[in-house]
Amino acid sequence: TACCSRLNKWVLPELVAHTGVTVLMLITMHWLVFLLNVPLAAWNICKYFSIPSGNVGLYDPTEIHNRGKLKFCMKEAMAKLGYHLLLFFIYLYSMIFAMVSD
């Protein structure tokens, strides 16, 4: 129960931060990075707005004990970790390329 409530506190800040970065990439016309960020932003928005009405949040203590749900959440977390790691190196390369090209 405590673990789910701690995780649920970070769902909305993650959604706002990632969507904000995606919008900033659109405004600044960084098209490649924008297109790379859109799928995860859309996934986060879809997950946030598809929370069933009876659940406490995205991570519900009564459903998290279901083995299938727990495995899915762990796979999703690992996929997001890999995705953010890939984006980190793309951002790093873009910054280095921008410094060299000036």
What does the pLDDT read at residue 102?
Answer: 67
Distance CA 3, CA 59 (A): 9
Are 44 and 15 spatial neighbours (Cβ–Cβ below 8 Å)? yes
Distance CA 72, CA 78 (A): 10
Mean pLDDT score of the chain: 89
Residue 25 makes CB contacts below 8 A (sequence gap 6+) with 33, 34, 37
pTM of the model: 0.81
Is it the case that residue 58 has pLDDT exceeding 90? no
In tens, the pLDDT along 7-35 reads 889 999 999 999 999 999 999 998 988 99
Are 27 and 79 spatial neighbours (Cβ–Cβ below 8 Å)? no
In tens, the pLDDT along 90-99 reads 889 888 988 8
In tens, the pLDDT along 35-54 reads 999 999 999 999 999 988 88
